[in-house]
Structures are given as C-alpha cells and as structure tokens.
Structure 1
Amino acid sequence: MENLPFINNIGTMFEPTGYAKANRHIISEWIQHGVRVRYTPIHHEVVRVPLGNEQESLLNSLVYTPLPERHLSFFHYPAAYFTRRDSSYCIGMTMFECSRIPITWSKRCNMMDEIWVPSEFNRVTFIKSGVLPHKIRVMPYGVDTSMFTPGKAPLSIPGQRSYSFLSVCSFDGRKGIDTLVSAFLEEFTASEDVCLIIKTRASSEDEIAVQQKYIEQIASSIGVQDIAHVILLSSVQSWTEEELAALYNSANCYVLPTRGEGWSLTVMEAMATGLPVITTNWSAHLDFLNETNGYMISVQGFVHASSNNPRLLWAIPNKNHLKQLIRYVYTHPNEAAMKAQAGRQTITQRYSWKHSAANMLHRLLEISR
C-alpha cells in the first residue's frame, strides 16, 4: 500500500447525517488498510453522534495530522461547498435527490478532477445537469452489517403494538411524512393492533411539539381523532448506532414514501436488519432495491422540489398504492419475510462498508499509479 496518496478528507464526521455517517465509515475502513488521512472539518460540528471512546479518539486525532505537500483532496459533502484550495488532485463525493442538480452544483462539480456519486441515478442526473461524464464514477455506499443485523435485543417503546411499521427520517417534505401519516391513518384504525413509529430529529423541545402538532393536523384533516397508534420518537440528542439497531429490531416492516433519495442509508439499514421494506419506486435506492427484495410504491407523477428552480423535480408517491402495500405486508407476513430475507442477502453480499471502501480504495490506487 506504499503507493497510496495521503488523503485530505474535507467534510463532516460526527454529525447525525448521512454524509457524516458515510464519511466516518469510509475513512475508518481506509485507515485499516493503511491509508494516511487528515480530516479537515468543513464547519464546526455542534450536534454530534455518540461514538465509542476509541473510535472518537481516533477520528478526532485526524484533525491534527500534518498535511504533506503531496496529497489528494477528498471532499465528501454537498457539492455547493466544493472548491479548489490547492494544486492537489480533487475528488468530490456528493449526491442529490432530484431529477437534476442546481447549476451552481454543476459548476463546482466540474471544478473537481473527479466526481463520485453513490448511485446510477445520480450519474444520470448529474450528466443531464452538465457535469462532464468522464469525471463521474459510481461509488456505492454501504452499511455496517455487523451492527444492523437481525436478532438484537429490541428497544422498549411505550405504546408499541404487536405489529409495528417504522420510518427513520428527517422531518421534512422530501421524506413524505404527510403521505405516510395520512396513508397509515386512513388504512388502520386505532382499534387494530398495529402502530406506526416515526423516528426523527429536532433542534429543540419546541420543534418536537411542532412535529407532534403537524401529525395531529394531518389526522384532523382526514377526520381521525384517535392517533394513539402513531408514535413519534423525536429527540434533540443524537442516538447511538446501537440504539438505532435496537429500534430496527423492534419493528416488523420499514416504510418510507420518499419523494427522492441520493442513496437512502436507512432503507439499507432496515434491509440489513431483515425487515421488509416499502418505499417509492424512484431515485437512488433502485440500485439495490426492486420488486424481488422489496415493495415499491408506484409514482403518480412529479412535482417541483423548489419554487425557485423549476428544473428540479421530485416524485409523487401514490398514496392509495401505499395504503394497499402496508395492508398487504401486514396480512402476508410469510411473503414479506421472504422478501426481507432476499433484501438482507442483497445488502450483506454486496453493500457492506468493507465493499464500499474497497471499491473506492481500488480507484485511489489507480490514481496514485
């Protein structure tokens, strides 16, 4: 491994985001293979995920690693922050959830020597948006298959019922919270032994109250009074990976009517845990999810993701089809278990972080030669 370049890793490492989670797993794997890394935070990370003492100490120490003159720059963050800081070979790893990417992103991507995206979906959308095709390489993300695995002790959740649908997501329009809650409340009454658990984050206790109020407003708009079977797990504090693994092991099915994904780590974590997955039949997760190993919500059209940019479109997941699927999975547990087994096999055989980091390391060796 003496031909490996020194990596200046620029991004985030400790935040409760997909970018930071992917970054710390990839960097940790590279270090195990002898890659020398300096970590340059792109901003101060205020909210941090609890890590083990050894891992946190190792990753923190990378900030103080001296940067040699000859190195490779690896930006791992939204492309809006890409920049050339020196004459080093620059790789930018990023993703986007819409049918195209913003023009500013395209320009910054073309400033890099290479662009790594996790999905075929993003390779296509980036090229459509003007990123030079020869710069783009698909480098899939992975999952910690030793952490997210069936059979771990489940989390104790107050109010949980015998059958639980689970969604782990940010509380925003892209994740389809409105579609998810209304579909569930229209399909399952409070008298049935079924619940929906929504795990999300908040910046304050006030924001948690706003999230709960939003769920109540959705229920009120469709004439539902009793929402005891919708459980909001929202917290200001970040959860550990162990707590998340226990949460997945508490559920019977994972559901996410997303409007668009750049990859979808939570879907992958659910699959690795052996849960049947229901999600939208559009965007990046189609690289690893299909009708043979999951349940795909049909798309009824597309909508502008931003009023400021009509080029950017999101999918509209079909709510009626979602209602059919959650009822079907609930009433066909044997078939759902078979699909879940196929999904877990897909992840463990092809999409561990070891697979992901090794694929990237192969390219780094090519560059160093």
Structure 2
Amino acid sequence: MRIVALSDLDFQGSGYLNIIIPICQGLAEKGHEIKVAGIRYGGDEHTHDFSIIPCPSIQDSLAVIGNLNQVWKFDVLLVALDIPLQREIIREIAGRIPTRDFRYMGIFPIEADPLIMSWAAILSQMNKAFIISEFGANEARKAGITTAEHLVIGVDTGAWRPPTEKERSRFRTALDLEDDFVILTIADNQERKHLSAAFEALEIVDQTHHNFKYLMVTRPDMPLGYDLDELALRFGVQDRFMKFGRGLDYFRLWSLYAASDAFLLTSKAEGLSMPILEAMSVGLPVLATGCTAILDHLEENRGFPIDYAYKIIDPFGNGNRYFIDPYSISSVLCGLMDGKYRHDKEAALKYIQSRQWENTIKQIDDVLQEWEE
C-alpha cells in the first residue's frame, strides 16, 4: 500500500521521532511504499527505506499531503502526533479534501484521564486509533472509540542493554560517582514533571543518607521551566546535582543510565514514557508517580509506583494531573540505598523484552492487510 506518514521529526529531541522512524522502516521492509512529511525535519542525512519531505510547520505538512493526494494517490495517511494536532489535521483535511478516498490512521498518547467528549468526537473520525498505552486505550474505549487499540511500542533492548561491570565502573569514574548512589531523571518536557518534588524528596533523604548524586537530562533554559540550580540550592542539594542538556547522542545517554542506581520520574501524567522503558531495559529500579500509563509499566513489582499527594484538573484536555508525594519518594530511595527494597528485575526485563518492534509493525500491518482485502 502507499502510505503517507506525518509526524514530528526534529532530530534534536522529538519523542515521536523514535516511534515513527522504526514504524516506517518496518512497514517499508514489508513492501509498503512510504513517504514521510516530517514536521521540523531539518534535512538530516538518513539511510531509511523511505523519503522524508521537510515541513517547517503543520500548515506546510498539510500542503504536502494535498499535493501527494493529487500526484501520488496514497491509500493511508498515518499521523503520529498529540490529540490537539490530530484534531487540527482532521479538520483541515475535511476542508481541503472533502471527498478523500484514503484512510486515516492515528498513533498518539492519551496522557490523562478522563478523555473528554470533544476529543473523543475527533478521534471517532479516524479509521483506526492506535493509542500507545493500555491505560490510554482503556480511556478511549470508555469514551466510545470503537477503533481504539493499544499499539505496543517497541524497545530496542540491544541498544538499551544493561552495562557490564567494567563499563559501569568506567562511566562512574568518568563522572566522579564511584562512591555515590546515583539517581537519574530524564525530563525533556518540564511542564508535566513535578521536579520540585524530586528536590524536596532529596532534601529529606539528605537528613540520613549523604552519599548520593542526582543527575537530570532536561532542557535547562526553557522560558517557562524551572531554574534548576536555584531549586537545588533552595533544598540544599546543590553539591549533589548535575544537569545535562537534551539532545545527547545515544551513547552518552545510555552511559548515564548505565552509571545510575535508580531512575526517578515525577510526572503528573504520562501517555507512554519511553525513558521509563529505557531505564527498565538497562536494569534500573524505576520510581515514578503511580498514575496513568506509568502504572502499565510498574505494576506486578516491576518497579515502584509512588503515591501521589493530590491531583488537579489541568487545562490540557481537562485531564487529571497527579502530584507525587515527596515523602513517599524519600522513603523508597532510602530503602533502596539500605538494600531493604528490591524490584523484580527479571519481571521488568521480561516485560521489556516482550515489547519488540517487529510486533509493533505486525499490529499495524495486520490492519493494513485488512484494508487491502
């Protein structure tokens, strides 16, 4: 089949990049013809079995879709973007191509509960709604989306592998972390992360346990983000805090996972969270807010879902936002440092190993085969 894929392809930090590229490559290897309209794609060289058309904006991508509909006559439009952008694209296509004869397949997260009816009405116009967590798929089904299905996103377990003892020792020595318990957070989008709770928890930990370091990969200069150095200073852990800018290459990021002893994510909501899956694949115990898609990953003792202190209704889709309890974080961290708490590492690795990209591709291809019949 001829497929036009549309997604965010910013090579410097798009979460969708790491989803749409393996999907399109896998579908191309199955014989489908693929063209990708890449929003924010900067023309970076690639060796994939499909072409990527640079689109600086959503409006540019819609123009590309219109042109391809005229000159290439594709069968499927596959859109991997958040729901508000899916809504914009569906509305624009209805206006620009009112008699379209291609099918619309959406791939997206549902980050929080509940799914509001105005969003559900948009999603119901898709021929297939692939939602990237079981939590999200359940919310869609509750809202009456009959085409909803959990698309199980793959993890490259070869890339995100546990380090050898020699590798781990080398990375820790390079970062001057030999004697420390190392906690890692990946927080590209600070808006959804209750980062102040992490620092508050570490202030509590510091009352009894002093040999720790806190590493964070984030966008340190976001206009509406935290001043992280000031936050660390406020809670008295400035000497234990190290930050790294987003856009680290794969090896540098893997080395941070490999050097760490625990992974902490204080999200208010998550529609998937690839960093949690990567941390589990590397073998780290994961502490994260016990809410939304996070529970899919950490239940059955695969990690440590942390209690939330309270929740609010957020302007983004009227969804719930869950605020993690700093005291609960500190209790689990101290337990890990003392060797009193252990997650089921084998169960976590088994869960990750079940998430193979070939299965993700098969899920999508099965739908395409049904449409082709």
Q: TM-score, normalised by structure 2?
A: 0.82
| Secondary structure at 1:143 match in 2 | coil
User: Take 1:197 and 1:159, find their aligned partners in 2: how far apart are those partners?
Assistant: 12
- Structure 1 CA distance for aligned equivalents of residues 8 and 37 of structure 2: 8
Could you tell me which of 7, 12, 26 is aligned with 2:3?
7
Query: Following TM superposition, by how much is the alpha carbon of 1:191 offset from its aligned partner in structure 2, in angstroms?
Result: 7.5
SS of 2:112's partner is: coil
Contact 2:232 2:238 in 1 (8 A): no
Aligned ranges 1:125-204 → 2 under 5 Å: 125-128=139-142, 130=143, 132-151=144-163, 153-154=167-168, 155=171, 158-160=175-177, 161-188=179-206, 192-202=210-220
Amino acid paired to 2:310: G
Mapped to 2, the partners of 1:81 and 1:96 lie a distance apart of 13
Change (3 A) 1:318 1:217: closer
Once the 2 structures are TM-superposed, how far is the Cα of residue 212 of structure 1 from its aligned partner?
7.3
In the alignment, the residues of structure 1 paired with residue 83 and residue 226 of structure 2 have an alpha-carbon distance, to the nearest angstrom, of 33
1:90-129 equivalence runs, <5 A: 90-101=104-115, 105-128=119-142
* Paired residue type of 2:345: A
Q: Distance in 2 between matches of 1:285 and 1:363?
A: 27
Q: 1:31–1:304: structure 2 CA closer, same or farther, 3 Å change rule?
A: same
How far off its partner does 1:228 sit? 0.9
CA 134–208 in structure 1, closer or farther in 2 if over 3 Å, else same: closer
Cα 1:189/1:197, change in 2 over 3 Å: farther
* SS class of match (2:9): coil
Q: 2:281 aligns with which of 269, 272, 277?
A: 272
The residue identity in structure 1 corresponding to 2:76 is L
The verdict on how the C-alpha distance between 1:97 and 1:200 changes in structure 2, with shifts beyond 3 A counting, is: same
The SS at the match of 1:228 is helix
Superposed CA deviations along residues 40-68 of structure 1, whole A, max 9, x for unmatched, are: 12x3335x9xx8x6xx2326734399763
Shift of 1:351: 0.8
In structure 2, the CA distance between the partners of 1:276 and 1:212, relative to structure 1 (3 Å rule), is same
Unpaired runs of at least 5, structure 1 = none
TM-superposed CA distance for 1:171, in Å, is: 4.7
Q: 1:227: Cα distance to partner?
A: 1.6
Q: Which one-letter code corresponds to 1:91 in the other structure? A: M
Match of 2:320 in 1: 313
Contiguous gaps of at least 5 residues in structure 2: 55-63
Structural mapping, 1:191-270, within 5 Å = 192-202=210-220, 207=221, 213-217=227-231, 219-220=233-234, 222=235, 224=236, 226-235=237-246, 238-270=247-279
Q: Equivalent residue of 2:366, what SS?
A: helix
Once the two structures are superposed, the pairs formed by residues 62-101 of structure 1 within 5 Å of their partners are 62-63=52-53, 68-82=72-86, 83=90, 84=93, 85=97, 86-101=100-115
TM-score using structure 1 length: 0.83
Is residue 196–residue 231 contact of structure 2 (8 Å, CA) maintained in 1? no
Which residue in the other structure is 1:342 paired with?
347
Q: Which residue of 1 aligns with 2:47?
A: 57
CA distance in structure 2 between the aligned counterparts of 1:36 and 1:302, rounded to whole angstroms:
45
What is the RMSD computed on CA atoms of the aligned residues? Answer: 2.9
Residues 1:23 and 2:20 are matched in the alignment: yes
Q: For residue 355 of structure 1, what is the aligned residue in structure 2?
A: 359
The alignment partner of 1:150 has SS state of coil
* Residue identity in the other structure for 1:27: C
Asked if 2 retains the 8 angstrom alpha-carbon contact of 1:302 and 1:316, the reply is yes
Q: Which residue of 2 aligns with 1:281?
A: 290
1 or 2 for the larger relative contact order (CA 8 Å, sep ≥6)?
1
